[in-house]
Amino acid sequence: MAMELLVTFLLFTTVAFPLSWLASTSQAASVSTDQLALLSFKKFVSDDPNGVLKSWGRAASNVSYCQWHGLKCGSRGRRRGRVTALELPGLNIYGIISPALANITFLRSLDLSQNHLRGSLPHEFSLLQNVNHFDLSFNTLDGEIPPSLSRCSNLRNISLGFNNLQGGIPEELGILVDLQSLSLLYNNLTGSIPADSFQKLQKLEYLSLASNKLSGVIPDSFGNLSSLTYLLLNNNSFTGTIPPSLSVLSSLTKLGLMGNYLTENIPPSLGNLSNLLWLDIGFNNLTGTIPRSLGNLYSLNLLAVSENKLTGPIPPQLGNLQNLTYLSLEFNNLTGHIPDSLFNLSSLQLFSLQSNNLQGSLPKEMGNSFPQLEYLHLGINEFHGSIPSSLCNSTNLRDLLLEYNQFSGTIPPCLGQLYGLFRLGLVVNQLEARSPTDWNFLTSLANCSILSYLGLAANNLGGTMPSSIVNLSTTLQVLYIDYNIIEGTIPEEIGNLVSLTQIAMGGNLLHGTLPVSVGRLNMLQDIEFEQNKLEGAIPASFVNLTQLTQLRLAENLLTGNIPPSLANCPLNWLDLQGNKLTGPVPIEILRMPTLSNFLDMQDNMLSGALPSEVGNLINLQQLDISNNRISGEIPKSLSECLLLAYLNLSKNLFEGSIPPSLSNLRGLQMIDLSYNNLSGNIPEFLGNISGVYLNLSFNDLEGAVPKHGIFQNLSAFSITGNSRLCGGISELRLPPCPNKVSQKHHSQKLKLIIAPIAAILCCIILLSLLALRFSRCRSTRQSQFSVALMDKYPRISYSELARGTEGFSHTNLVGVGSFGSVYKGVIHYDGKATSVAIKVINLQQHGASQSFIAECQALGHVRHRNLVKILTVCSGLDSAGNDFKALIYEFIPNGNLDGWLHNPSRRDGIKTTLDINQRLGIAIVVASALDYLHNHKPTPIVHCDLKPSNVLLDYDLVAHVADFGLAKFLRDDANSSQNSTSMGALKGTIGYIAPEYGIGNEVSIQRDIFSYGILLLELFTAKRPTDDAFMEGYSLHQYVEMALGHKTTEIIDQSLFLTEHSGAFKSDITNKEETYIACITSVLTIGIQCSKAETTERMQIAHVLRELHRLRENVNQ
């Protein structure tokens, strides 16, 4: 027995001793592995400005690495002495992440956020089986997210936001079933969300994929993520609808979907998210109304639905949201009044309703309702009445923006009580100031010590410029007081406002001299003093304005020379037209490399030659020195100004020939050299510049007029008053050029024709003298027509348009019109990918360039929600080096009215047609747009081609008037009964052109009213005026007029009476249908009145608008 015990003991000691030795040896090896991995990490660090890794010793150091900065080690079991946490956030460490960190096998937390680490994520990190917290956010990491990261099965938190990661979201992440937080925001991730794998993440509480490039739809399966509290998908390219399944996420507190391309309605079921604190679905394409059910979100702090296409009234139920601090409904198409219930939201800090169609006045006690309000944005609506003085009681106000409304009365003098006011915007209203006391508000604003923006432009502020303006805060950066009726002088102390970057006082009645103290405002970027009665010289002190980019002093009484010292200012826009400036054009001005947009010195008394240094303006787009006394030859160096689109040298004393070098200026859209002393032949190259308007009138040119290019189109050029020209197209009626025959034969022939030629020349001279005044006026108007083109719109390159349309692919072709083709595309505009319509001008088509210019002119001067908006323009060369012009519009997705009337699409096998309310809405919107155009100030605009195919419909079937290619401005003295004659031959569409158009090519607003009448008839009969039935003098007007009354139901578009189920016409007429028929009869009567042959018998558009509004109210009762 004793022997057996001895043997057992010996065996145990023999085995146990090696095992304990092996265990201690293994632990020591693992410790050494952790230390080596850490030293490898340190080796990969390229810069440690804070020295945080100095404590990290060498491998042979006696100091335990557990004491190194940013490390934690385990204290028991297998983790004892092993690294469990590496946390070095926000230490400005530079370098690459060492793959050796994957050898720290007991690591639970890795936090290297807020550093400057670059490179890709090591695939070896998949070995970190114990890691549960993984934070590498706020670095500059690139490459893709390794799918192998999904092997780290204990991960609870992944934070990789604010890097440059690319590629898709690995679907393998769906196997991390314990994942609670996934943050990938602010990267460059692409592709769609892996829906099938994500629905397995039942423990996920926080998901942020915001600010990437993700696309596709938001998965319905997100409704299965029952633990989700935060869902942030902002600023991506998601399409489709907001999944109603999100409404079952009862724990959700924050939902952010803004900045995508989501469409259709806001799901009313979102009102079930009772714990929601934050709802942001702005900057999408959502339609329909704001659901009343959102008023059930009683915990909500933030509600933002801005920048969508929402319609209808603001739901009064939003007044239930007593915890709301941020309410943004701006940039939609909301209508009606502000519900009274919203004035009970006493916690509001931001209240923004700007850019809608809201009406009514503001309650007098409004300011008492919002004690916490900081931002009030109500601009671009139709509010009227006075500005409530009670707003002065909202003492926290920082922004008070009420621009572009119809507010009237005086400005409350108590606004100076808003000591924290930062921006006050009241531009484009009807506010008044007549007496000095009406200006007390300006005196009180001196108390607003941080005021940065003051916008008072385009009101009815009158009287003398208050001297208190110079007491405004020295923090003021923007001062707009232009286009009022203010008199007096500009105070010299204006130079006290040392922070000004923009000052606009143009369009008033100011006199006196320009204050020298303006030269002290060395932060100024924009000076606008045009259209006043300012006199004296341009101050030499302007030399100090080293940041000035725009100087507008046009249409004053300024005298003296143009200061050469202005060349010290980085100007890109210099407008000195319409003054009494003398002396030469300063060479220094012509050497300014920054002068790129606009140089206008017309209508002065400048003299001398145009220096050859003008060729230094290689980026200049518009040059106008017309109506001066400039002499000598046209500089050949002008050919260096390759971006020049507008060149006006008319009404000067230029002599010599037209330089052949101007042939390099292939982007020119207008050349005016009229009223000079130019001689020689008309260069052939001028005919090759496509899309240009050329005026060579009243010079001394001789020889043959070319017959190619623009010289084939009489409306594209003018050569009147050059008595020695011959040949050209027959419409010019010039004498033929002489043949090369013998001198004897020539002399004999000359004797036979000299008498009639002399008579013809006398007639030409007489007619020219009679037309001189008209030509001068016309030249002035033409000299300004492309200002809007190059000034109003940003430019976009051909290459970007090609990319956005897949090389102008046929699949993106939307339609083909008279002057070009329209493509659907996507461009980068206003900071995000934007769907647009791109009209590519066919420059080979006669009149196309003029159409391009006319459209830019018209839409550059107007601003109306129902006129299609030009976003940008392209004018340059295509990839083959050919001239290229295109207009880029906002994309209106629902086609045109012509298609809806005559080629209705099918959805679910059923034809989609317009009901009576939709048609009335279209009629009202088009009438409203015409009313705006015809009453546009200062110059009314005539569309000249109104027809259903030029009326586009958006998602809500709201109409937008398009295609201003034939639009014309009426003369200043034109009104509803006066006409304006076009620059060239007018066009239009047969069937919609007023009959008086055939007599004299006259343009008047009556032309649009006739077209509108025909459009009304077509809208409710679905018959085109060009249908085969209307032949030989029988018209759509007569067809409707003869049927009104006894046969009205026979001519009405029968789809208006189709039942929803049977599709058959009802024989029994209900009371509702009687109302419909009565309404349609009245509308057709309006159409008949508008399309009368006699202009004096046609209805005024304002009367039409009132009647249509009344009819719609009757239908909806």
606 in a structural domain: yes
The DSSP output letter for 10 is: H
In sequence order, which residues have a C-beta less than 8 Å from that of residue 122 and are 6 or more positions away? 97, 98, 99, 101, 102, 146
**1049-1098: per-residue pLDDT in tens?**
888 988 886 533 333 334 445 567 778 888 999 999 999 999 998 888 89
Long-range contacts of 177-182 (CB under 8 A, 24+ apart): 177/201, 177/202, 177/203, 178/153, 178/154, 178/203, 179/155, 179/203, 179/204, 180/156, 180/204, 180/205, 180/206, 180/227, 181/156, 181/157, 181/205, 181/206, 181/207, 182/158, 182/206, 182/207, 182/208
Query: Is the separation of the CB atoms in 490 and 466 below 8 Å?
Result: no
Query: Is the separation of the CB atoms in 355 and 379 below 8 Å?
Result: yes
Q: Which residues are annotated as a binding site for ATP?
A: 839
In sequence order, which residues have a C-beta less than 8 Å from that of residue 20 and are 6 or more positions away? none
The DSSP output letter for 480 is: E
Q: Do residue 175 and residue 297 come from a single domain? A: yes
Q: Do residue 900 and residue 1038 come from a single domain? A: yes
Q: Which residues are annotated as a binding site?
A: 839
Strand partners, 207: 182, 231
Cross-sheet strand order for the sheet of 140-141: 45-47, 94-96, 116-119, 140-141
Query: Is the separation of the CB atoms in 594 and 617 below 8 Å?
Result: no
Q: Which of 856, 891, 926 is the last residue of a domain?
A: 891
758 φ/ψ angles, rounded to the nearest 5 degrees: -60, -40
Measuring CA to CA, how many Å separate 1079 from each of 931, 978, 1074, 1086? 22, 33, 8, 11
Q: Do residue 866 and residue 906 come from a single domain? A: no
In sequence order, which residues have a C-beta less than 8 Å from that of residue 246 and are 6 or more positions away? 218, 222, 223, 231, 252, 255, 267, 270, 273
The DSSP output letter for 276 is: -
Q: Do residue 1085 and residue 943 come from a single domain? A: yes
Q: Do residue 645 and residue 779 come from a single domain? A: yes
> Can you read off the two tokens belonging to residue 612?
């050859």
Rounded Cα distance between 240 and 391, Å, is 42
Rounded Cα distance between 111 and 288, Å, is 46
Q: Do residue 849 and residue 913 come from a single domain? A: no
285 in a structural domain: yes
The CB-side HSE value for 114 (13 A sphere, CA atoms) comes to 5
811 in a structural domain: yes
**Cα angle value 875/881/883 (rounded, 5°):** 35
The DSSP output letter for 1099 is: P
| Regions in the chain scoring below 50 on pLDDT | 1-29, 59, 741-751, 771-792, 906-910, 972-986, 999-1000, 1059-1068
800 in a structural domain: yes
Q: Which of 840, 856, 891 is the last residue of a domain?
A: 891
Q: Report pLDDT for 763.
A: 56
Q: Do residue 734 and residue 844 come from a single domain? A: no
Q: Report pLDDT for 220.
A: 93
The CB-side HSE value for 600 (13 A sphere, CA atoms) comes to 24
Q: Do residue 848 and residue 912 come from a single domain? A: no
Give just the sign of the alpha carbon dihedral 518, 524, 530, 532.
negative
1070 φ/ψ angles, rounded to the nearest 5 degrees: -80, 170
Q: Supply the DSSP string of 232-274, one letter for each residue.
A: E--SSEEES---GGGGG-TT--EEE--SS--EEPPPGGGGG-T
- 557 SS3 class: strand
**Burial (CB count within 10 angstroms: exposed 0-12, middle 13-18, buried 19+), residue 655:** middle
Q: Which residues are catalytically annotated?
A: 945
Q: Where are the alpha helices (DSSP H) in 784-847?
A: 787-792, 798-804
The CB-side HSE value for 769 (13 A sphere, CA atoms) comes to 5
Taking alpha carbons only, the member of 335, 389, 380 closest to residue 362 is 389
Q: Report pLDDT for 648.
A: 94
**Burial (CB count within 10 angstroms: exposed 0-12, middle 13-18, buried 19+), residue 435:** exposed
164 φ/ψ angles, rounded to the nearest 5 degrees: -120, 35
Q: Supply the DSSP string of 17-52, one letter for each residue.
A: HHHHHHHHHHHHHHHHHHHHHHHHHHHHEEE-TT-T
Give just the sign of the alpha carbon dihedral 1087, 1089, 1093, 1097.
negative
- Count of domains for the chain: 4
Q: Do residue 858 and residue 808 come from a single domain? A: yes
502 in a structural domain: no
Rounded Cα distance between 728 and 701, Å, is 13
Q: Which of 859, 891, 923 is the last residue of a domain?
A: 891
* Residue 922: its H or E element: helix 916-934
Q: Do residue 864 and residue 950 come from a single domain? A: no
Q: Do residue 69 and residue 154 come from a single domain? A: yes
Taking alpha carbons only, the member of 912, 834, 897, 824 closest to residue 866 is 897
The letter for the amino acid at 647 is L
Place of tokens 């009426």: 970
CATH number at residue 879: 3.30.200.20
Rounded Cα distance between 1010 and 1096, Å, is 11
Q: Do residue 735 and residue 797 come from a single domain? A: no
Taking alpha carbons only, the member of 177, 148, 270, 153 closest to residue 218 is 270
338 in a structural domain: no
Rounded Cα distance between 1107 and 1114, Å, is 11
User: Which pTM does this prediction carry?
Assistant: 0.66
Q: Supply the DSSP string of 946-972, one letter for each residue.
A: --GGGEEE-TT--EEE---TT-EEPPT
The letter for the amino acid at 158 is I
Place of tokens 């189920």: 1061
Rounded Cα distance between 365 and 388, Å, is 7
509 in a structural domain: no
State which residues form the domain around 734.
584-789
1054 in a structural domain: yes
CATH number at residue 678: 3.80.10.10
CATH number at residue 918: 1.10.510.10
**Burial (CB count within 10 angstroms: exposed 0-12, middle 13-18, buried 19+), residue 402:** buried
